[in-house]
């Protein structure tokens, strides 16, 4: 199979500091991949290598079956790759039309084509006459996308393009961008800090950690069966407890919890998501005491200290509950885990 992008064994250092180590993954044509990871783990560096702004020290990068770096070199402007940076990087003194036109070959730089590109990103063609500072942040990002689309790239790289936008505008801009790219069937890679954004935007999520690719999979796989505890904690809220695993059961402070049999045995740690923990006042399952209640509008976070046998270290868990609750600190509750947890060898 020919992949739209095939990154294999890529290493990159700057001034003796290793930034990327053995990064390998492949992306199918027309798919959307989100790259997430803590600040400084090398996400932007990886995008810049794919775009051709940097050269890898080792490994290869191939676009649609053609090696462009490592054992051959194709410069950035010869790769069919679009790049939208965090701040859009528009030319501030040029009009919107001129910014978009910059992406077009000279003979195709017509008002009609520029209007068409602006319409693609849901902007009125009359905006062509404005300067970038006469547009909102979300509109500017859409101009940057129109400029990148003008080159008709096979691969679009988006480096945190929504991060400077406020929550409402961010969701709106993200939907427009996702729609445009899906309609044009452009293979897309999005770097983001925002885990819910990664899970909702992409077909596949790649989690990076300290220059390595920790895990790549569907949003569901990454969220429900993260490869290790740091990945679990990075991609969402996680309740992690020590446990004793026997086959597909884990004994822990939350009681006897089902786990997917994955070879983990004996002393282990178990991870469940807060929304898997059901709290009731009936006292079913394991019991505990509410120690704090945090109000977040649509949901509440309940801190609960679990009852433990004398001598055991008391475990405290945070549970998410949608809607209002009348529970207050000091209330006694029963706790049950829904679905399966994930076990990790201790």
Nearer to ligand ATP, 42 or 52 (CB): 42
- Cβ 282 to ligand ATP, closest distance in Å? 45
Q: Give the number of other CB atoms < 10 A from CB of residue 210.
A: 15
- Cβ 193 to ligand ATP, closest distance in Å? 6
Nearer to ligand ATP, 41 or 335 (CB): 41
Coil, helix or strand at residue 141: helix
Binding site for ligand ATP (CB under 6 A): 14-15, 19, 37, 39-45, 193
Name 26's Cβ contacts closer than 8 Å, sequence gap at least 6.
Answer: 3, 5, 6, 7
Nearer to ligand ATP, 43 or 273 (CB): 43
- Cβ 20 to ligand ATP, closest distance in Å? 8
Locate tokens 């003008």: which residue? 150
Nearer to ligand ATP, 24 or 240 (CB): 24
Nearer to ligand ATP, 14 or 91 (CB): 14
- Which string of DSSP letters, residue by residue, matches 195-257? HHHHHHH-SEEEEEETTEEEEEE-HHHHHHS-SSHHHHHHHS--EEEEEEEETTEEEETTEEE
Round to whole Å and give the CA distance between 227 and 213: 11
Round to whole Å and give the CA distance between 35 and 198: 7
- Cβ 160 to ligand ATP, closest distance in Å? 7
- Cβ 170 to ligand ATP, closest distance in Å? 17
- E-assigned strands of the chain? 5-14, 17-27, 32-36, 58-63, 66-69, 81-84, 155-159, 187-191, 204-209, 212-217, 239-246, 249-252, 255-258, 266-272, 277-280, 286-295, 299-306, 316-322, 332-337, 342-345
Nearer to ligand ATP, 135 or 144 (CB): 144
- Cβ 41 to ligand ATP, closest distance in Å? 4
- Cβ 81 to ligand ATP, closest distance in Å? 17
Nearer to ligand ATP, 174 or 269 (CB): 174
């Amino acid at each position: 199979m020919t992949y739209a992008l095939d990154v294999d064994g890529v290493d990159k250092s700057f001034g003796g500091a290793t930034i990327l180590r053995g990064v390998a993954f492949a992306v199918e044509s027309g798919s959307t991949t989100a790259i997430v990871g803590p600040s400084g783990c090398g996400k932007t560096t990886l995008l810049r290598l794919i775009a051709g702004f940097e050269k890898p020290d080792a490994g290869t990068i191939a676009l649609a079956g053609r090696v462009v770096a490592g054992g051959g070199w194709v410069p950035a402007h010869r790769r069919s790759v679009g790049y939208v940076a965090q701040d859009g990087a528009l030319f501030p003194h040029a009009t919107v039309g001129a910014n978009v036109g910059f992406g077009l070959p000279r003979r195709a730089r017509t008002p009609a084509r520029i209007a068409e590109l602006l319409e693609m990103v849901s902007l009125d063609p009359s905006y062509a006459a404005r300067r970038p500072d006469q547009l909102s942040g979300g509109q500017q990002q859409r101009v940057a996308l129109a400029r990148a689309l003008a080159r008709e790239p096979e691969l679009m790289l988006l480096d945190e393009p929504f991060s400077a936008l406020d929550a409402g505008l961010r969701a709106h801009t993200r939907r427009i961008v996702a729609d445009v790219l899906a309609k044009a069937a452009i293979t897309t890679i999005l770097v983001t800090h925002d885990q819910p954004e990664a899970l909702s935007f992409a077909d596949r999520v790649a989690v990076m950690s300290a220059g390595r690719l920790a895990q790549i999979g569907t949003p569901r796989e990454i969220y429900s069966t993260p490869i290790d505890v740091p990945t679990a904690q990075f991609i969402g809220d996680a309740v992690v407890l020590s446990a004793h695993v026997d086959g597909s059961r884990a004994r822990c402070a939350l009681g006897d919890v089902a786990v997917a049999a994955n070879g983990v045995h004996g002393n282990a740690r178990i991870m469940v998501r807060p929304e898997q923990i059901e709290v009731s006042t009936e006292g079913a399952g394991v019991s505990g005491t509410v120690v704090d209640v945090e109000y977040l509008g649509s949901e509440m976070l309940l801190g609960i200290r679990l009852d433990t046998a004398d001598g055991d270290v008391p475990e405290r868990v945070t549970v998410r509950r949608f809607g209002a609750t009348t529970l207050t600190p000091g209330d006694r509750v029963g706790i049950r885990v829904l679905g399966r947890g994930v076990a990790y060898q201790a």
